[in-house]
Amino acid sequence: MTSIYERFRDSIRSEVPVALATLIEGPEVGAKLLIEESGFALGSLGGEALDRVVSRDAIAMLEAGTSEVRHYGPEGEARQHDLSVFIECHARRPHLVIFGAVDFTRALASQGKLLGFRVTVCDAREVFATRRRFPMADEVVVDWPDRLLERIGSDLGPRDAVCVLTHDAKFDVPAIMGALPTRVGYLGAMGSRQTHEKRVERLLEEGVTSAELERVRSPIGLDIGGRTPEETAVSIVAEIIALRTGREAPSLSEGKGSIH
Amino acid sequence: MDEIFDDIERWFMSGEKVAIARVVDIEGSGPRDPGAAMAVNARGEVAGSVSGGCVEGAVVGEAIELLEGRRQAGITSFGYSDDEAFAVGLTCGGTIHLFIEELDW
């Protein structure tokens, strides 16, 4: 029979989201319950009712990807402190979708990998969107942005990011319009302030509301004076981090001055 | 945690016992988030880390005691200590709570 450790190890290695609950204070210190998103469970913390409550909490925590200690009563009652359970969550990797197979994309894809994202590069132009140009990406897709988002949009969540680097309205507009209805946490679009103004006009013409546009970080990135593709990539991933952590960091989209 | 599996496998293959220490909670400033893990075998070999190098030495000691049956599985905490230059603590001023147990599950 597979042990809890073996199942835990194999799930992490094969990137199946998994939570491991350990009783760290209570009668059976060290008792374990492994929980997967599907509801599959292995082990026990010492009682059916407790296991049920912890499983439910763990599945919710898996979505956010946080690990923490929770307190319960002997039967899993909330607001009681008889038992402490450490719930360790290994969520799926967050997804970074980059539209536009340009030089900036190469640097951003590498930065994304460094931060643990699964990286998809998408461009409708076959000659640009090649594996050879983006060996670091997890996948390179030749397609129109709106069509890719139709396929994967419902899987995008608060930990994921969409970066539109094409700075060509022909591709930018469908990419942004495709990403707006999704739950994606970060949505940014590259371009000079002038490109940005024109893009905003086009999007408004297409029926996007100004409230929706507030979600788009454009010009993309933090205002750190980045210039090269690599520096720009740092400013973009830094903005993604700052949005997730809720920290005050100067975004280019909030300022008016020159980008470089 | 995935980065420590290879070492754990190797130790298990050669029939060694393994202790595992995991960060379960931090107060104030702490270098690693809950879930950071470190595995230790009875010879004091280490895989992974639970801080920026501040408490790892002490954790090895606790882990060996556990594997030798001189302590039970449970929570061990490390805080800041400014009076003794060589006391074990986090230089960043936070408190770190670790759960240390044998990997026998």
CATH of the domain at A120: 3.40.50.720
- Residue A89 has φ and ψ, to the nearest 5°, of -110, 130
Distance CA A93, CA A91 (A): 6
Q: How far is C-alpha B70 from the chain's CA centre? A: 16
Residues in chain B within 8 Å Cβ distance of A5: 103, 105
| Interface with chain B: mutation pick from A67, A84, A87, highest number of B CBs within 10 Å | A67
- Please, what is the angle between helix A193-205 and helix A169-179, to 10°? 60
Instruction: Kindly indicate the confidence band of residue B85, based on its pLDDT and cuts at 50, 70 and 90.
Output: very low
CB contact under 8 A, B99 and A5: no
- In total, the C-beta contacts within 8 angstroms joining chain A to chain B are 48
Per-residue pLDDT at B80: 60
Is residue A128 located within the same domain as residue A192?
yes
Q: What end-to-end distance do the CA atoms of chain A give, in Å?
A: 60
Residues A11 and A66 in one domain: yes
Chain B neighbors of A25, CB-CB under 8 A: 75
Does one domain contain both A12 and A49? yes
Say whether pLDDT at A198 is over 70. yes
- Residue A76 and residue A137 in one domain: no
| Whole-angstrom distance, CA of residue B74 vs CA of residue A88 | 16
Rounded to two decimals, the pTM is 0.79
Domain edge (last residue) among A90, A125, A158? A90
Distance from CA of B85 to the nearest CA of A (A): 31
Tokens of B21: 């220490």
* A259 domain residue, yes or no: no
Please say which residue of A90, A118, A144 terminates a domain.
A90
* A60 close to B (CB below 8 A): no
Residue A214: per-residue pLDDT: 94
Do residues A35 and A107 share a domain? no
The average confidence (pLDDT) of chain A is 94
Residue A172, token pair as written in the block: 């930018």
Dist. CA A95–CA A119, nearest whole Å: 6
Same domain membership, residue A36 and residue A160: no
Same domain, A75 and A124: no
Question: What's the number of domains chain B is made of?
Answer: 1
Question: Considering only CA atoms, which of B95, B97, B83 is closest in space to residue B24?
Answer: B97
A102 is a domain residue: yes
Query: By residue range, what is the domain housing residue B47?
Result: 2-102
- Residue A231 maps to a domain: yes
A77 and A107 housed in the same domain: no
**Domain membership of residue A65 as a residue range:** 4-90
- A88 reaches B (C-beta below 8 A): yes
Residues contacting B13, CB < 8 A, separation 6+: none
Q: Give the single-character DSSP code of A254.
A: G
- Total domains in chain A come to 2
B2 contacts in chain A (CB < 8 Å): 12-13
CB contact under 8 A, B5 and A68: no
Q: Same domain, yes or no, for A27 and A133?
A: no
Interface touch B74/A90, C-beta < 8 Å = no
Regarding whether A122 and A76 lie in a shared domain, the answer is no
Residues A63 and A99 in one domain: no
Identify whether the C-beta of residue A140 lies closer than 8 Å to the C-beta of residue A134: yes
For residues A72 and A110, state if they share a domain.
Answer: no
Residues 6 or more apart whose CB falls under 8 angstroms from that of A34 comprise: A4, A7, A8, A18, A19, A20, A21, A41, A42, A43
- A115 Cα distance to chain centroid: 11
Q: Which of A55, A90, A125 is the last residue of a domain?
A: A90
Residue A260 belongs to some domain of the structure: no
**The pLDDT of residue B84 is above 60:** no
Please, which pLDDT band fits residue A250 given cuts at 50, 70 and 90? confident
